[in-house]
């Protein structure tokens, strides 16, 4: 069956438009999400049991021990960062918990 050039051109335009749309869609979806700071671990109900079990506090009672110098802490924005013990949320840089471990020198 022979196709005329007019039908073939429409099909080609359709395929190009579809591929272009498929390539642009993920970029548009990610760009549409507003940047949002992560919540503190104490503000996430799912973390409550772990926060309690580790006796986490946002302000360390020990001047030489705080999240900022713990090996489980990775600095983030501002005075917060990620702790390897929590899958969700961030901890205060000045916080402390009973799993504190000195960051290697």
Encode pLDDT of 7-63 as tens digits. Answer: 566 777 767 666 666 665 565 555 544 445 689 999 999 999 999 999 999 999 999
Region 53-81: what's the mean pLDDT?
96
Joined tokens for residue 58: 């946002």
Give yes or no for a contact between 39 and 80, defined as CB atoms under 8 angstroms apart.
Answer: no
3 CB-near residues (< 8 Å, 6+ apart): none
Phi, psi of 82 (to 5 degrees): -90, 145
> Quick one: pLDDT at residue 31?
53
Look at residue 10 in the predicted model and tell me its pLDDT.
Answer: 75
* pLDDT of 81 over the 90 cut: yes
Q: Are 93 and 57 in contact (CB under 8 A)?
A: no
Does position 6 have pLDDT exceeding 90, yes or no? no
Q: What is the dihedral of CA 31, 37, 40, 46, to 10 degrees?
A: -20
**Residue-range domain boundaries for the chain:** 1-33, 41-92
């Amino acid at each position: 069956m022979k196709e005329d050039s007019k039908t073939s051109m429409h099909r080609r335009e359709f395929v190009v438009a579809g591929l272009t749309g498929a390539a642009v869609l993920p970029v548009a979806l990610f760009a549409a999400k507003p940047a949002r700071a992560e919540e503190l671990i104490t503000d996430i109900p799912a973390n409550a049991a772990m926060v309690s079990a580790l006796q986490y506090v946002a302000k360390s009672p020990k001047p030489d021990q705080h999240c900022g110098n713990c090996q489980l802490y990775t600095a983030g924005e501002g005075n917060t960062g990620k702790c390897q013990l929590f899958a969700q949320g961030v901890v205060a840089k000045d916080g402390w918990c009973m799993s504190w471990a000195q960051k290697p020198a």
